[in-house]
Every structure is written in structure tokens, then in C-alpha cells.
Amino acid sequence: METGTSQMKQTPIVSPDDQKVTFVELFFDLVFVFSVTQVVSLLHKDLSWITVGQAILVFWLVWWGWGQFTWALNAANTTHHFVQIAVLMAAAIALFMGISLPGAFQDRALWFAISYILVRLIGLILFSLVSLEDPAMRGAVRTWTLLSITGIIAIVAGGYMGGAAQYVLWGLAIVLDIFAANVSGQAEGWKIQPDHFSERHGLFVIIALGETLIVAASEVTEAILTFNLVVVGVLVVAITCALWWSYFVRAKPVLDHALKSSQGGKRSTMARDVYSMLHFPMLFGVIAYAALVEEAVADPGEPLPLAGRAMLALAVVLFVGGMAVALWRATGNPVWARAILIIATAMAIMAVAGVSTAVSLGIALSGILAIIVLEQRARSLVGAERA
């Protein structure tokens, strides 16, 4: 016991410059898989605008709780025993947050709110401990902590009051969170470790994309195999793979380079905008797609209803279009081809009604593949000119 206590005292709590993602962080991420699954289930139960609004609100809280911890663990030494204990505690609490999520707008609103703020508070405590050893971070952490309190209070109040007040207060909390991030993100003292930071977000993207395959596999396992089901299943997997390619092969290297190339306050605002802010619509797009997959696999021989086509169109626009905005923010250059093609794809999905589910999925896949091929060709032409 004395050896463990001595090690905690001797090991600095500030992250080293070459910090890599650790197993305790991966464990923390896996707990959040459950919350992502719960948001997908919430959407699938009722594809209505009210449910979409609820899903956006609760997923923002899930994402923001995870995101604050990602910033904290980027600053903290994740091999420090106290940090590891704090992560495990937050993971346990996050599990109850996921359990409460389906009833977040009913009888479990306060339970969800309390578990959420406990995760946030543990993250703020970690930030404060790191700033005690790293004076350069104190101003940034102090500003972030003070501004975050208002959003946390709004979440608790909304969970307690319920009803229409809950929607208003939780929506207000999102506005307050964004305001806090905009103000405190400009500080010089965050000292973002770019490799660690980008890898953590890449892992969350994998978690979300993997959820679509888990949903598809679960539904197919319980159904009778038919030709239509097999075709839909193949298309679902193909679209997921195409989304993976569009992010990890095309976008992520560009985003990572932009983050590494920036310094000081520019790096922290780049991390805030490109990853903390613009990854949210992208990942909600994947969640919307996973919910649509449940609908598609459940009745593969029938046309998607209007709500189903709208969900598919929304999914591709948010993920691929959100990625285009992130690339624009990172490089300063608009990605017009990606934006135009994905909007055209979404319009085609909505316009072509009364066709089988496979056709709607095929339109989505064709649009994503067209973007991949076009961007790969453009990259090859640029490479040839430079050579």
C-alpha cells in the first residue's frame, strides 16, 4: 500500500508530451458504447421530430460529458493511479447515465441529470489537479470551470422540473456549453497533445460506426433469411465501410495535420471547433443511420416510409457534410465537391419514393462512393502535378 501511495506522489499528474491512448481510456469509451446504443434505441422507437429532438439533446449531453473527459485526460497523465481511479469512477457513473437515458424525458430525468453532472464534476476535478502542477493551465481551467457551472445547473433544474421546462433548460444548457467552450477555448494554456487528442476522437467514430454493424447483425440474426434481407444487409455493411473510408482515409489525416500544425490558442480553438463541435453532428448522423438500419432490416422488402427516407438523408448529410465543414475549418478551403454531391444524394433519397429499401440504400451508397472516387482522383492529380 505504501508503494502504491509513493508511486502516486512521485508520478507527475501532468501528461507527458508523448502520451498514448491507454487501456483505462478504452474501457471508459466502451462504457459509452452503451449510451450510444440507448440513443439509437430511442430514435428507433418513434421516428418523429419530437424523438429526434430528444435524441439530439441527450446525445449532446453524452457527447459533452465524454468530450470534457477527453480534454481532461489529454492534460492528465493517464498512467497516474489517481487519474485511473477517477476514470473508473466516471465510467461506473456513466453506465447509470446510459441506463437512465431511455427515461430521460420521463420518470428518470433527474437520475440521468445527476449521473451526467457527476461525470462532469469528476472531469473538472481532474482538470483542477492538473492545473495545480501546471500553472500555465490555471487561467484556462478556471474560466472553463466557472462558465461550465451555469450549464450544469440548467441540467439539474431541467431534470428536476421535467415537462416543457426540461426541454427549455436542457436546450439552454447546450447554448451555455457552447458559450463556455468559445470563451475558454481561446486560452493559451490548454497544451493540447494532438496525437492523443485526435486518436481519442477517432476511436469514438469507430464506436459509432461499429454500432451500425452490431444493430444490423442483431436484427439479421433474429430474422428469417430472404433475398431482400441479404441484399439490404450487404448494402448496410457497404455504406458503413464507405463512411469509414471517407473519414479515416480522406478526412482524418487532413484534420490531424491541421491540429499538429497549429500552436497555442490556435491549436485549442482548432481542437474545439474541428473535434469537440463539428464531430457532434457527424456522430449524430451515424446514430441516425443506425436507427434507420433497424427500420430497414426489420422490413427489407418494403419501401422506406417518408420518415425513414428522411432519416437516411439526414444521416448522410450530417456525417459526410459535417466532415466537409470540419475540413473547411481545418484547412480554410471549402470542400465544394463533397458538399454538393452529398446534398444531391440526400435530395435523390427523398425524391425517389415507392421503391424498395435496397434502392434507397443503393442511392446513399452511390453518392458516398462518388465522393470517395472523386476525391481520390483529385488527390492523385495533385500528386502527379507535384511529381
pLDDT of residue 380: 58
Rg (C-alpha) for the chain, rounded Å, is 21
CA distance 383 to 387: 6
Burial of 76 (0-12, 13-18, 19+ CB in 10 A): buried
CATH 1.20.1410 domain range(s) in the chain: 192-387
Residue by residue, DSSP assigns 230-299 as HHHHHHHHHHHHHHHHIIIIIIHHHHHHHHHH--HHHHHHHIIIIIIITHHHHHHHHHHHHHHHHHHHHS
Task: Write the DSSP symbol of residue 14.
Answer: B
295's torsion region: left (phi>0), alpha (psi -120 to 50) or beta? alpha
CA distance 106 to 238: 37
pLDDT of residue 382: 42
Q: pLDDT, tens digit, for every residue of 228-283?
A: 899 999 999 999 999 999 999 989 999 999 999 998 889 999 999 999 999 999 99
pTM beyond 0.85: the answer is yes
CA distance 342 to 311: 14
pLDDT of residue 385: 44
- φ/ψ (deg, to 5) at 76: -95, 155
Q: pLDDT, tens digit, for every residue of 111-147?
A: 999 999 999 999 999 999 999 988 888 888 899 999 9
Q: What is the dihedral of CA 258, 21, 32, 309, to 10 degrees?
A: 40
Of 5-19, 84-98, 222-236, the range with the lowest mean pLDDT is 5-19
Fold of 192-387: I/LWEQ domain (1.20.1410)
Res. 9 pLDDT band, cuts 50 70 90 = low
Sign of CA dihedral 314, 315, 320, 325: positive
CA distance 352 to 313: 12
3-state class of 47 per DSSP? Answer: coil
CA distance 145 to 129: 12
Sign of CA dihedral 352, 354, 355, 361: positive
Query: Residue 96: which H helix or E strand, with range?
Result: helix 81-100
Q: pLDDT, tens digit, for every residue of 160-209?
A: 999 999 999 999 999 999 999 999 888 777 889 999 999 999 999 998 99
Cβ atoms of 265 and 186 within 8 Å: the answer is yes
How many residues can be counted in the chain? 387
